[in-house]
Structure 1
Amino acid sequence: MDPVIVVGAGPVGLALALALAAQEVPSVVLDEGAGADEYRPARTAVLRPDTAAFVERLGCADTLREEGARWSGWRSMRRRQVVRHVAFADARGGGAGGVDGRGPDDGLGEGYDERRGGTTAREAPGRGGQQLGPGDGPAYGSGDGQGPGLGDGAAYGPGDEPGVESPLHVPQHALTLALRQAIAAPRTRGLVRIVGDSRLDALDQDASGVSAHTRGPRSAWWRGSHLVGCDGARSTVRKLLGIRFPGRTAVERHAVAMLRAELPWPGEAVLHRQPPWRGGGDEVTARPLPAGGWRLDWLLPPRGDLVTPEALVGRIRETLAGWCAEVPPYDLIDTGVYTLHHRLARSWRVDRAFLAGDAAHLLGALGTQGLDEGLRDVENLAWKLAAACHDGPSEVLLDSYEAERRTAVAARLRAADQSLPVLRGGGGLRTYLGGSRQHDALLTDGHLGLGPLGAPPSYVHSPLAPLGAEARVEVGTESGAPVDDVPVTSPDGATGRLRDRLGRGVLVVLVAPGTGVWNRRHWVSAGVMPRLAEAVRALPVRGELLVTEAYPGAAAHTVLLVRPDGHLAAAFAGVRPAELRAAAEALRGGPGRDADGEVRAEETADVH
């Protein structure tokens, strides 16, 4: 089997190589660098629960834990307990908000002189109090912005109740190291080869594969079945394919600092809009990092002077004093300035070549996360490439990558672009369009991975959606949406979570109340199980049978068909071998229904 050529050895490219290896597909990763990610403590990534779980399945949990990224430190929270509002005595406006994002090239953004303008120093002024002064104490409100104490700042963070998982904030160099170590682990069995100092400068495609030429210490031609450009905002792959990359430049601009200090909200992320002190900017965000670290982001004017070291230190001291009554002792570790752009490639596929991550899209304003979307690209594309490599190419299946992922990212960009004039347009416009509370809830959702700015995508109109059938039923998850992570048991008695089984083939999940208390040797051969096991073995794709005691909105004996990337393909009332097989056939590009509701066949599809 020819390998898949992956251009770019950032987190997206490395994750793709690992996801392919998990499905027995070899890859060659072309890295134009020497193989070491630049150590920048202020360059961090925010992963939503679904993408964090995906990276964990790739084998990175242990390394990230060792790096001190608190990989296993998630706690759950209920939606109505998401926001903690903090009222200041001289508040000027209302609401929660904030932005955290990344600039192009997976770094702190354009303007390298600005990044060099940062400073690394240790400042330890006289120890001040860490509590807010009289009249400025914290007040607690509900997550919908209706609770008491609504002021001009807000904090959000995990609570103690089951519900929505909080995002995971990790240093990007730690994430890259974890992915590289997972590639070096025995489980990959040599399926991934990373080639350093290799810069792509040409590629050719033919009916059977792709040839890529690299220059460096030694020039070489590489042959693969497919090629994926994960090479960032200035993607060489995208340019060689002649794909346009339209969009908006300098949507937002931020100054960032990584420091160690004691703040009044240990372990919680803080979004403070319209701070009462002057010079701190209209918005500042603080996210906790391991070992007492914090990342602080200040929203800057779209166009302005370079941020000097002196100005940034002044901004830090003013912000810390505003939060802590006095400037507490702190260690300043790293600084930078980054610019956010919004761009979307016109096409994500040209024959056997694909784009993923920042090569295909740039986003990051209002809580959206570019790396999150890049990892979702990988999870969506990997199983489709693996199917093409093992079973032969299907144009419908490969085209569905662009149809699903480009549509999802376009919707995210559209939501952010429509919200920006409202959220950044001034008090009059905000009031006219419904006040600040709804807008602040939108921002909070973006940071928490909820709503149009942050929630995982649903592929409701996927080209892989099966045809309608009388046996189809509705459950608590819409077809095309991510499934709930319920406890599952396999016929051999192994237990775990549904997410843990993703990535290797389709999952067929039977809802069977009582299996948790029955002896396995009784239920595995009783009722509908033998017939369902036979139906799973007869599927045209690799499948695994699982059982769960309950699933939201599902009656007993409901059968769920789950895609390898964790999205629900279909739900059936009882065991329906013919309908189950037809739905699985649609997942590999067989007959299904297009976005207009018309039956489509593999040989008629051509959308790239």
Structure 2
Amino acid sequence: MTTLKRLNTQVLVIGAGPTGLTLANLLGQANVDTLIIDRKPGTVTEPRAVSIDDESLRTMQAIGLDQAVLKDVVPGYGVHYFTRPGGRCFGKVEPTGKLYGFPKRNAFRQPLFEATLKAGLERFASLKARFSHELLEFHQDQHGVRALIRDADGELLEVQAAYLVACDGGRSPVRKQLGIEMVGSSFSSRWLVVDTDQDDDPFWQTRVYCDARRPVVDVPGPHRTRRFEFLLKADETDEQVLGETRLQALLRPFKGEAPVSIVRKTVYTFHARVAERWQVERVFLAGDAAHLTPPYAGQGMNSGVRDAHNLGWKLIGVLKGKMAETALLSYESERRDHAWALIKLALNLGVVMAPATVLRARLISSAFALIGLLPPLRDYFLQMRFKPKPRFTKGLVLTEGEAGKLSCGQMFPQPMLTDAHGHECLLDEAIGAGFALIQYGAPTRQRLDELKHGFWNHLEAKRILILPEPIEAMPTIPGCTVLQDRDGLLKAILGESNRFLLLRPDRYIAAIFDKATETEAAEALQSLLGIAATRSSEIESGIAPAFH
């Protein structure tokens, strides 16, 4: 006889892939009661995503798992473009900077990554993970979401949650129950993906063979793994190309007659789609449930990790009483445009990586040769400056404010800092998990301890002064951490601005202001977060905030 068990939680996460596991770790770290479920018996065992970028590694740092993740990563790899197998290299992308504290482009294996994230869940008593659990249906009202879940033994579990987040993949059952359509396109082209291990090729850059006869991508991975991707022809069937004889023939130009250890082989049709809506009242879509990205830019999984960080800190803020529920409306408005920008980047790179004709392939290689002769253009591609950086112009950021080359809504860089004793740390390690007030430059005209508005205390914002130059004795400022920019990363970016910047928990700049405009900035931010500006004195005195 089937029994019905009941469980109450604050957040129910459906899907334990990279997006769901990242979100669960964020919520667990903040002591938010969370249940994450997945239909599978565990995390994935076969390779899927193979590239993790600097922004995602910064999110891993935010949940305290960056070093564990980096153990299974090939850091800082680039892309070399070739005319054909055995042909000439006509272009390179080799980013070297660490603007956000990590290499821009890194190779990894999703099974190892997910296993690390799953192990991270065990750190938090407020967090429960249930695998082999399937969501059957859900209903919501103004008070919360009620979900019916079935485990592998057929037992039923009724979960009452304040919010539900669907990280349940491109075929998202939650999205379908909500009746939300995906808009965009699917590719008529198909790609054969072959993952190998025990690989002895020492070349650690991605090779892209822009051969109109058969475009091929060769991606290195950690622990002697490698991926090959072959564009299939219209008359080639899945059964043909997945057969052992055909596989060996496709791999021969790259591996010769040496035996190849194949761990996975599959045929993909890629999509470029975005959900029409990402939120319906108390239910949110994230990751592949919200957007499907072609793999050419390596940004599909990374976009999901961005979703998790963006939504995660906002859920925490609402559930901890730091902001009103209306602040959650900013999730889709902030994330949608950037997710679509990366989809368009992937489509454009697809034109380069898989030219439709021999003539187009020749034109592309000639264009790259010309670019190589022009240093500004060469560096633009070499350092991956073509990758769209998110810049929020709406949502939980002020629309105006600049400091040097930075504007409100941009992600703040992450320099390596030193303290008075010579100890080193990255900026986010000094900040911790929450908000931060940052000042860069000698505090001669204005100082962080002069900021008196109660809103900063309400946010529990940590105050950090970053000095551009080494000095014999660092100044002491009450309630403020004083550090020095070890490598001068911020100097070319911020110059002599000496302004105050409020960083959100996801390290985007929410406000840039001076002492003279402090009250104006604080009250504008209070309005964005749904905190009544008329109650600022009560916020300062510690009385619970009022929400609009």
Question: Shorter-normalised TM-score: what interval?
Answer: 0.7 to 0.9
Call closer, same or farther: CA 1:439–1:362 in 2, change over 3 Å. Answer: farther
State the shift of 1:561 in Å.
1.3
Asked if 1:366 corresponds to 2:296, the answer is yes
Contact 1:32 1:197 in 2 (8 A): yes
Call closer, same or farther: CA 1:502–1:425 in 2, change over 3 Å. Answer: farther
Identity between Structure 1 and Structure 2 (%):
23
SS at structure 2 position matched to 1:177: helix
Contact 2:193 2:228 in 1 (8 A): yes
State the shift of 1:549 in Å.
2.1
User: Per-residue CA shift, 1:213-267, capped at 9, x if unaligned?
Assistant: 112321121011111000111111111111112332235422222143333x532
Call closer, same or farther: CA 1:494–1:388 in 2, change over 3 Å. Answer: farther
Contact 1:489 1:496 in 2 (8 A): yes
Call closer, same or farther: CA 1:305–1:382 in 2, change over 3 Å. Answer: same
Query: Which protein, 1 or 2, shows the higher relative CO under an 8 Å CA cutoff with sep ≥ 6?
Result: 1
1:569-584 equivalence runs, <5 A: 569-573=510-514, 576-584=517-525
| Alignment-mate amino acid for residue 181 of structure 1 | A
For structure 1, the 5+ residue unaligned runs are: 77-81, 92-150, 276-280, 322-326, 516-522, 593-601, 604-608
Contact 1:536 1:545 in 2 (8 A): no
Contact 2:220 2:226 in 1 (8 A): yes
- Give distance in 1, aligned partners of 2:180 and 2:366: 41
State the shift of 1:174 in Å.
0.6
State the shift of 1:8 in Å.
0.9
- Give distance in 1, aligned partners of 2:302 and 2:439: 30
State the shift of 1:435 in Å.
6.0
Report the counterpart of residue 191 of structure 1 in structure 2: 126
State the shift of 1:61 in Å.
3.5
Call closer, same or farther: CA 1:584–1:489 in 2, change over 3 Å. Answer: farther
- Give distance in 1, aligned partners of 2:127 and 2:10: 9
| Counterpart pick for 2:459 among 530, 541, 562 | 541
Report the counterpart of residue 530 of structure 1 in structure 2: 449
Asked if 1:356 corresponds to 2:286, the answer is yes
SS at structure 1 position matched to 2:254: helix
User: Per-residue CA shift, 1:5-30, capped at 9, x if unaligned?
Assistant: 10111121111111112223121112
| Alignment-mate amino acid for residue 43 of structure 1 | R
1:37-436 equivalence runs, <5 A: 37-40=43-46, 42-64=47-69, 69-70=72-73, 74-75=75-76, 91=87, 151=88, 156-157=93-94, 165-185=103-123, 188=124, 190-216=125-151, 217-250=154-187, 252-257=189-194, 258-263=196-201, 266-274=203-211, 282-301=214-233, 304-306=236-238, 307=241, 308-321=243-256, 327-328=257-258, 330-391=260-321, 394=324, 396-417=326-347, 420=350, 424-428=355-359, 436=367
User: Per-residue CA shift, 1:54-98, capped at 9, x if unaligned?
Assistant: 123323335435xx514xx6359xxxxx6656688985xxxxxxx
- Give distance in 2, aligned partners of 1:434 and 1:74: 27
State the shift of 1:378 in Å.
0.4
Contact 1:465 1:583 in 2 (8 A): no
SS at structure 1 position matched to 2:505: coil
Contact 1:154 1:271 in 2 (8 A): no
Call closer, same or farther: CA 1:204–1:87 in 2, change over 3 Å. Answer: closer
State the shift of 1:426 in Å.
2.8
- Give distance in 2, aligned partners of 1:449 and 1:32: 40
Call closer, same or farther: CA 1:74–1:392 in 2, change over 3 Å. Answer: closer
- Give distance in 2, aligned partners of 1:537 and 1:591: 11
SS at structure 1 position matched to 2:136: strand
Contact 1:167 1:448 in 2 (8 A): no
- Give distance in 1, aligned partners of 2:284 and 2:439: 35
Call closer, same or farther: CA 1:301–1:396 in 2, change over 3 Å. Answer: farther
Call closer, same or farther: CA 1:302–1:58 in 2, change over 3 Å. Answer: farther
- Give distance in 1, aligned partners of 2:428 and 2:252: 43
State the shift of 1:439 in Å.
11
SS at structure 1 position matched to 2:406: coil
TM-score (norm 1): 0.71
User: Per-residue CA shift, 1:129-165, capped at 9, x if unaligned?
Assistant: xxxxxxxxxxxxxxxxxxxxxx356565566x77782
Call closer, same or farther: CA 1:176–1:439 in 2, change over 3 Å. Answer: farther
For structure 2, the 5+ residue unaligned runs are: 1-7, 373-377, 469-489, 534-546
| Alignment-mate amino acid for residue 64 of structure 2 | G
Contact 2:95 2:384 in 1 (8 A): no
State the shift of 1:410 in Å.
2.1
| Alignment-mate amino acid for residue 167 of structure 2 | C
State the shift of 1:303 in Å.
6.7
SS at structure 2 position matched to 1:254: strand
State the shift of 1:404 in Å.
1.1
- Give distance in 1, aligned partners of 2:155 and 2:379: 49
Contact 2:81 2:210 in 1 (8 A): no
Report the counterpart of residue 19 of structure 1 in structure 2: 26
SS at structure 2 position matched to 1:56: helix
Segment of structure 1 superposing worse, 357-366 or 490-499? 490-499
RMSD: 3.8
SS at structure 1 position matched to 2:191: strand
State the shift of 1:358 in Å.
0.7
Contact 1:27 1:191 in 2 (8 A): yes
Contact 1:155 1:272 in 2 (8 A): no
- Give distance in 2, aligned partners of 1:62 and 1:464: 30
User: Per-residue CA shift, 1:541-582, capped at 9, x if unaligned?
Assistant: 231111212432242532111121111223234575314423
- Give distance in 1, aligned partners of 2:233 and 2:381: 21
State the shift of 1:463 in Å.
2.7
State the shift of 1:530 in Å.
2.6
SS at structure 2 position matched to 1:247: strand
User: Per-residue CA shift, 1:432-473, capped at 9, x if unaligned?
Assistant: 8996439999xx999999455x444221x21323264xxx44
Report the counterpart of residue 498 of structure 2 in structure 1: 557
Report the counterpart of residue 481 of structure 2 in structure 1: none
Contact 2:60 2:69 in 1 (8 A): no
| Alignment-mate amino acid for residue 314 of structure 2 | K
| Alignment-mate amino acid for residue 128 of structure 2 | R
- Give distance in 2, aligned partners of 1:430 and 1:202: 50
